[in-house]
Structure 1
């Protein structure tokens, strides 16, 4: 009797288009939140499960990949880390300046409300830099557990350098371990349609659209700035680097990385997605195994836009006079501060008081601005993360394909 060659439902799902499956998940989540909001809130457990699985495996993946990449690096083998870092820096600065220009062209005002923000915000740029430096020497096990990617990268680099003198069997073992974890990550990523279904259903059922309507102008300024970076600035930087048409790469990264990041709202959780995309693009593994987790920590164009736009909206609301050079100084501070924002949902919002202090805005009012950020976060933070995360791959690919 001949064996059936008809693929099972599971096989069809695993071999199907992930983007199409995610779109179906989004539509189903929206429908469920509209028809049965209470069930939509309960479906949030699927989203929480997916994001927690990504966050759980991502630190281990990054640590093992970086160690294996550095340990197996040949002495004369070329990497592209330096040009990627340059693109990260330039891209973030351009994003902050763009946010200033959009804020001046389309000034926004806020309806400041009293609120209680439980998390503390940094009180100065020195505190941000202090945190970055000391995160580098965090206990390596604690760094993996807490998702401290600066610490993970630091210790992984040192251990990888040490293993460069190990025998070939040890190096092969590390590479096999990296491949095994990558396989596990691939399975987790295939859960994205179910996770995003739960995230969408829970978010819309809980928040609704009413809270966003009163801040539609502010959201348009934020999203407009981010779209300018995604569709104009980033392609221009890619073109100047590669001398090739940038849009096929840009659209592929937005489709594959941006959509997932939009709904997970976490650059850290999207690291495995970006790793898989870099492998699909056939980029240099020695480069992207370092540049992608590093980008999730310091490449924060979207965060720089959020900090700048919300701060200038507060300045405009309070009728505080500000000239363009001062606003540019704000953009530089925003760009530097953005590198210190955590790779989790809402991480950039807690740096707004730092920027507000430049205009002597009291901390009580600044924290109200943070509260506004949380209200619009269902759109703002999603778009910010999509820009941040997709840009990590775009700039890594541009550096690897540099002419």
Structure 2
């Protein structure tokens, strides 16, 4: 007896379903561009769903993470945290530099008209400060991610002394919203089919070439971070050839993270790796879960590259100062990236808003991110998770070097 189609479909991984949706959109766009025009509505609905859930998701995830923080876990963590935050900021810089050297553009169908870009870095800073003090309800309603992040941090800090039951309620809301995002992302194959269909039907297959260029820039920046910047940071800390440790982390942590597409799901793998490296359990039992939350080099690259792709598309000129602010903003926002697949994409509107790009346009950029997300998100997670283990090891090996202990990596 043959199984119903919906069982077959649900048995497929999300990656395979997205690939099917991508190919179906291309095929329908080439063969039946006029007959099946309503297919494009699926893409519009998908973007609308992302636009609806993203602001409140960011609010509760960040608020929950900060409220759950335990003060007695701060000891011996300063070095690791500095590596996490510094690495994430450098990743944003790498992405900005790559985007200046190899600028790419993307196709935006609507909402790209009548945009007034900021005239100077002073105006960008003013907009940033005004967004920080926005009314929280207004920030959520208008997708002001800077204001959302600010209020989430403040309320999260205020809730640290709250009863455990209150923190549980906040955490339950965050988990519920994450579940909703899972549901939305499970519809990504149909949304991507609609988005790709609309692009191919209107502009032909040539329009897909830009996706390859965008993906190439993203992966190039991530590879540069993993194979050049991270090893340089490691060498400065331990003054020893870092590549055996770098490749060990990429091999044992990065490969599994590539397929799970979840830093949280890869925590047990990183724990085993740290144990194999004979690191202090009191250190890595805290630093590895923390890294899965705030060590987001791959997310910072994704946010910066896609934001600058939108900036290039709209013809907005940016200065070195505004690019530096973008790097810092990408690092800060990446630390609040959702733990679900594609979570970093939901923070692009926050970065884009600093260049006068409205939320409607930014969510189109997010949708483009989902089109290439089959590869992008897997590589991003591999970079993030492997760097959790790498920086935890580097921080402890640096102490070993100062104490005259032998550092051996097998």
Match of 1:293 among 277, 289, 292: 289
Q: For 1:142-157, what aligned pairs fall within 5 Å after superposition? A: 142=169
Query: Residue 339 in 1 paired to residue 360 in 2?
Result: no
Match of 1:306 among 302, 305, 324: 302
SS of corresponding position for 2:151: helix
Give the drift of 1:269: 1.6
* Unaligned stretches of 5+ residues in structure 1: 1-36, 49-65, 72-77, 149-202
Match of 2:312 among 283, 307, 316: 316
Q: 1:79·1:286 contact (CA, 8 Å) conserved in 2? A: no
TM-score for the superposition, normalised by structure 2: 0.62
Q: Give, in whole Å, the separation in 2 of the partners of 1:318 and 1:105.
A: 18
Q: Give, in whole Å, the separation in 2 of the partners of 1:47 and 1:348.
A: 17
Query: Residue 363 in 1 paired to residue 336 in 2?
Result: no
Q: Give, in whole Å, the separation in 2 of the partners of 1:299 and 1:360.
A: 28
Give the drift of 1:395: 0.2
Give the drift of 1:134: 3.8
Query: Residue 237 in 1 paired to residue 205 in 2?
Result: no
Give the drift of 1:90: 1.1
Cα shift readout 1:65-99 (whole Å, capped 9, x = no counterpart): x99xx79xxxxxx9641111111111011100010
Q: Give, in whole Å, the separation in 2 of the partners of 1:375 and 1:46.
A: 12
- Moved beyond 6 Å, runs of 4+: 37-40, 45-48
Cα shift readout 1:341-384 (whole Å, capped 9, x = no counterpart): 12221111111111111110111111101111111111111111
Match of 2:150 among 129, 138, 152: 129
* Unaligned stretches of 5+ residues in structure 2: 17-68, 112-139, 161-165, 176-187, 197-207, 402-410
Q: 1:107·1:316 contact (CA, 8 Å) conserved in 2? A: yes
Match of 2:81 among 81, 85, 90: 85
Q: 1:80·1:399 contact (CA, 8 Å) conserved in 2? A: no
Superposed CA RMSD in Å reads: 3.5
Give the drift of 1:126: 3.2
Q: Give, in whole Å, the separation in 2 of the partners of 1:45 and 1:333.
A: 33
Query: Residue 400 in 1 paired to residue 368 in 2?
Result: no
Q: Give, in whole Å, the separation in 1 of the partners of 2:375 and 2:334.
A: 19
1:4 match: none
Give the drift of 1:47: 9.7
1:25 match: none
Query: Residue 96 in 1 paired to residue 92 in 2?
Result: yes
Q: Give, in whole Å, the separation in 2 of the partners of 1:289 and 1:147.
A: 23
Q: Residues 131, 392 of structure 1: CA spacing in aligned structure 2 closer, same or farther, 3 A cutoff?
A: same
Give the drift of 1:316: 0.3
2:132 match: none
Q: Give, in whole Å, the separation in 2 of the partners of 1:385 and 1:135.
A: 26
Q: 1:307·1:349 contact (CA, 8 Å) conserved in 2? A: yes
Q: 2:106·2:210 contact (CA, 8 Å) conserved in 1? A: no
TM-score for the superposition, normalised by structure 1: 0.63
Q: Give, in whole Å, the separation in 1 of the partners of 2:170 and 2:289.
A: 13
Q: Give, in whole Å, the separation in 2 of the partners of 1:106 and 1:215.
A: 14
1:380 match: 376
Cα shift readout 1:243-271 (whole Å, capped 9, x = no counterpart): 11111111111111111111221112211
Q: 2:15·2:374 contact (CA, 8 Å) conserved in 1? A: no
Q: Give, in whole Å, the separation in 1 of the partners of 2:295 and 2:174.
A: 16
The number of aligned residues is 286
SS of corresponding position for 1:343: coil
Q: Residues 327, 228 of structure 1: CA spacing in aligned structure 2 closer, same or farther, 3 A cutoff?
A: same
Cα shift readout 1:280-307 (whole Å, capped 9, x = no counterpart): 2211111111111111111111111111
Query: Residue 273 in 1 paired to residue 294 in 2?
Result: no
Give the drift of 1:277: 1.5
